[in-house]
Structure 1
Amino acid sequence: MVFEEKMIMNGEPEDEEEEEEEEEDMVDPIEVVREKCEATDHCVHTRERLEQCQNRVGSRSSTEEDCTEELFDFLHARDHCVSHKLFHSVK
C-alpha cells in the first residue's frame, strides 16, 4: 500500500502512460510496404484468384478442394514485391 502511494506521488504511473502512447505511434515499415505491394497489378490479380477460390470452396457443402495454391501464389507475389522495397524504407 505504501509503495503504491509513493508511485502515485512520484508520478511514475503517468510516465508509464506516456511510454505506452509513444509505442502506439510507432508503425512497422513492413506493414506499410505490404499494403502498397498489395495494391500492385500482380498482387491484385493473385488476390482475386484467391478470393474466387474461397468463394467456390465456401459455396460447396463437401469438397476436397482447398485454396492453398492460390494463397501461396498471393503471398509469394506480395513478398517478392516487399523484398525489393522494404530495405529502402528502413533506416
Structure 2
Amino acid sequence: MVFEEKMILNGEPEDDPLDTVRDKCAQAEHCIHTRAKLEDCESRVGSKSETAEDCTEELFDFLHARDHCKKVFNKIISFIQI
C-alpha cells in the first residue's frame, strides 16, 4: 500500500525493490559460482559460428540460486515485520 502511494505521489520509483533484491542475491557467494559458469558458457557458445550447445542448464542453475536467495531474503523481511 505504501509503495503504491509513493508511486501515485512521486511517479515511478527510481529503483524497483525486486531488482534490488535480485542484484544483491546475484552477488551472493553461492550465486557467483553459477553466474561464472553461465558467463563461461555464453563466451564459449558465442565464440563458435555453428554449435548445438546452448546455455539453458547454466541459466536455470543461476536463476535457481538467485531465487533461492530471494526466498531467504523474503523470509527474513517477513520475520522482521512481525
TM-score by length of 1: 0.68
Q: Secondary structure at the match of 2:50?
A: coil
Given the alignment, which residue of 37, 41, 50 partners 1:62? 50
Q: Percent identity?
A: 54
What value does the CA root-mean-square deviation take over the aligned residues? 2.4
The Cα shift of 1:74 comes to 0.2
Cα distance in structure 1, aligned partners of 2:61 and 2:72? 17
What is the Cα deviation at residue 35 of structure 1?
1.2
From 55, 63, 69, give the equivalent of 1:75. Answer: 63
Q: Which ranges of structure 2 fall in alignment gaps of 5 or more residues? A: 1-6
Q: Supply the distance in 2 between the matched residues of 1:45 and 1:67 (Cα, whole angstroms).
A: 15
Higher helix share: 1
What secondary structure sits across from 1:66 in the alignment? coil
Partner letter of residue 71 of structure 1?
A: L
Q: Which amino acid aligns with 2:31?
A: C
In structure 1, the partner of 2:4 is none
Q: 1:24 to 1:60 in 2, by over 3 A?
A: same
- Tell me which of 32, 55, 58 is aligned to 2:20: 32
Paired residues, what number? 73
Larger Rg: 1
For 1:85 and 1:28, locate their aligned partners in 2 and report how far apart those are by CA, in whole Å.
16
Once the two structures are overlaid, the 10-residue window that deviates more, 21-30 or 76-85, is 21-30
